[in-house]
Structure 1
Amino acid sequence: MNNAGVWAGLLLLGFGGILFWQSLTLEYSTALGPGPGFLPLWLSGSLMLVSLLYIGESLKKEAIRLHALLPRGRALGNIGCAIGALIVFMLIVSFTGFVIAATALLFIVLAREFRWHWALCISGGISVAVFVIFQTLLDVPLPVNDFGW
């Protein structure tokens, strides 16, 4: 069972099943018409149907092997670096605030392509710019540290 299409279909089927089950906890209809559970119920049901059709189609066609889809070399390193940077961001953002956490995230990703001082300048500048735009112009609160940034 090394068919990537079947595994992707099973993953989508499971995801659709969870969404379907959760949508049953919402009210399907109200006195005014469709309720909050109407759209998620039908969308998740449609996702489950499409995933079953995809699994059937994947079983009929030539199998796509999982190992053929996975990246190798530098591309795999880039993916690992991005995932690692996101994990670091999630772990430190509540303590350091958005600016430092976003700078760390971007620095980890950019340091693979730029010299460290350029990566630090770019990541710091982008983080501060995003913070100013969201905090002041859009009035969207972002996590801050004891210094307010």
Structure 2
Amino acid sequence: MKNAGMWAALLLLGFSGFMFWQSLSYPYYTPAGPGPGFLPRWICIALIVLSILYLWESIKKSVIYFSEILPKGRPLASVLVALGSLLVFIVIVDFTGFVISAVVLLFISLVREYKWYSALGISIVTSLFVFYVFYTLLGVPLPVNALGW
């Protein structure tokens, strides 16, 4: 149960099996040549084979324990802050729009390393820049609030 390599291999095996099953819904071959199911099917087959080989190796040869790879101390706190700020972003993005949610996400992530006013300034400028590039220039639909940003 503590073998991280085994769990990673099982996760990859499950993912590649699911993607292989999904690739069966696309035609493998068309009159013009290989169809849209050709490449995903072969990539998934390769992933399935590699994940089985890695599963075998992680069980028999090189056991990697979770306690060896999980961070401790300040790095663990950084991981938890990143996950927490992402969770906050997901919860508030529908209500506040992309810009405010991104400012909150970046501020939570940066305030530990920068002074609060620097973290806030970087968060605002970065969020507005990303919003401008993706929403205005590239036309990517982003969630907006009542003000349109």
Q: Measure, in 1, the Cα distance between the counterparts of 2:110 and 2:126.
A: 12
Q: Tell me the amino acid that sits aligned with residue 133 of structure 2.
A: I
The aligned runs of 1:1-149 (5 Å cut-off) are 1-149=1-149
- TM-score when normalising by structure 2: 0.92
Q: Measure the CA separation in 2 of the matches of 1:63 and 1:84.
A: 30
Counterpart AA for 1:124: I
Structure 2 residue runs of 5 or longer lacking an equivalent are: none
Q: Once structures 1 and 2 are overlaid, which stretch shifts more, 86-95 or 137-146?
A: 137-146
CA separation of 1:62 and 1:36: change in aligned 2, threshold 3 A: closer
Q: Which runs of 4+ in 1 moved over 4 A?
A: none
Percent identity over the alignment is: 56
Deviation at 1:137, TM superposition (A): 2.9
Give distance in 2, aligned partners of 1:120 and 1:38. 48
- For residues 29 and 62 of structure 1, do their structure 2 counterparts lie closer, same or farther at Cα, with a shift above 3 Å needed? closer
**What TM-score do you get using the length of structure 1 for normalisation?**
0.92
The range that moved more, 61-70 or 133-142, is 133-142
Give unpaired runs (5+ residues) of structure 1: none
Q: Which moved more, 1:125-134 or 1:97-106?
A: 125-134
The CA RMSD measured in Å over matched residues stands at 1.4
Q: Give 1:91 deviation, angstroms.
A: 1.6
The CA distance in 2 between the partners of 1:40 and 1:62, in whole Å, is 30
Shift of 1:136: 2.9
Letter in 2 for 1:83: L
Residue-pair matches, total? 149
Instruction: Provide the C-alpha distance between the structure 2 equivalents of 1:113 and 1:142, rounded to a whole number of angstroms.
Output: 28
